[in-house]
Structure 1
Amino acid sequence: MLGITLAILLQVSAVGDQPAQYDDAFKTAMETGKPMLVLVGTDWCPACVTMKQSIMPRLKRAGRLSGVVYTEVDADAQPRIAQRIMSGGGYPQLALYRKTKDGWRRQILIGVQSESTIQTIVDRAVAAQEEEAGKLEVLPVSQ
């Protein structure tokens, strides 16, 4: 019985640390207005594995992705979604989408990225998103 309980707890904790599925992440970004960060890669790409298993989890554990909606897309399993997101060839690609008054703006980074580079683009996107949201606030009419 203890073995089954432990197995369930491990499975639940592993699932809780997984990135959101693309459709769920997209829906959340649309509803909340948060920037969306998408890692597109494959299982056979060493650079993608480094990003998926090392760099992105460290950022997530440190709370550095809390200002964005984060998800991953496997280009082999989800080729249509990957093609829509990617900018040309090469893996991995990190796409950051930010909502503006003129629609969604995309920034792409290709190849393995350092934690500091990712943190910089996330911080800039979150700050720009907050600034944009501030401009859209409805101010009360004075009497």
Structure 2
Amino acid sequence: MHGVLLAVLLQATMAGGEHDYPAAFRSADETGKPLLILVGTNWCPGCVTMKRSVMPSLLRKGKLSGVAYAEVDADSQSTLAGRLMQGGSIPQLILYRKTKTGWRRSLLVGAQSESTVETLVERAVEMQASQQSLPGEQAVVTASHSETESK
């Protein structure tokens, strides 16, 4: 019985699960919410901390309700990850905001604390509402964030 349950859970995880990138992108595009993406792997300690501790805690506390959130595995979704990432370090937490002049991008590299992620999200939501730019935010020249492929 446990084997069947584990197989079902593994299959759901492999299929993209609840933090699926295409669904999050569609949600951000339709609602105007910022798009927050965690790019990492299952073997990277910092990525595992972000994926299993920091982000779930923020989700439970409702701190990510103002964004569309997705997780991208850099190993199994390497093409998409390569288009989203800047450099090769992981984990990367990428935030896109849709503005009148196009998408704007912010990036945090490495494992982050809950308070750092919460601050990034709060500022992005505020800036989204006022259409101002965040310090260090870049205009996105390519449409890499709009790719909806899963691998």
Q: Report TM bin, short chain.
A: 0.7 to 0.9
Q: What TM-score comes out, normalization by structure 2 length?
A: 0.75
Q: Within the alignment, does 1:89 sit opposite 2:88 as a pair?
A: yes
Q: Does the 8 Å CA contact 1:42/1:76 hold for their aligned counterparts?
A: yes
**Alignment RMSD (CA, Å):** 1.9
Give the whole-Å Cα distance in 2 for the aligned partners of 1:60 and 1:49: 16
Aligned to 2:114: 115
Give the whole-Å Cα distance in 2 for the aligned partners of 1:21 and 1:57: 15
Aligned to 2:129: 130
1:58-97 to 2 correspondence within 5 Å? 58-97=57-96
Q: Does the 8 Å CA contact 1:39/1:94 hold for their aligned counterparts?
A: yes
Q: What TM-score comes out, normalization by structure 1 length?
A: 0.79
Aligned to 1:136: none
Larger radius of gyration: 1
Runs of 4+ in 1 over 6 A off after TM superposition: none
Secondary structure, counterpart of 1:116 in structure 2: helix
Q: Deviations over 1:107-134 (max 9, x none)?
A: 110000011110111001001111129x
Q: Does the 8 Å CA contact 1:34/1:69 hold for their aligned counterparts?
A: yes
Extract unaligned runs of 5+ from structure 2: 133-151
Give the whole-Å Cα distance in 1 for the aligned partners of 2:73 and 2:131: 31
Secondary structure, counterpart of 1:50 in structure 2: helix
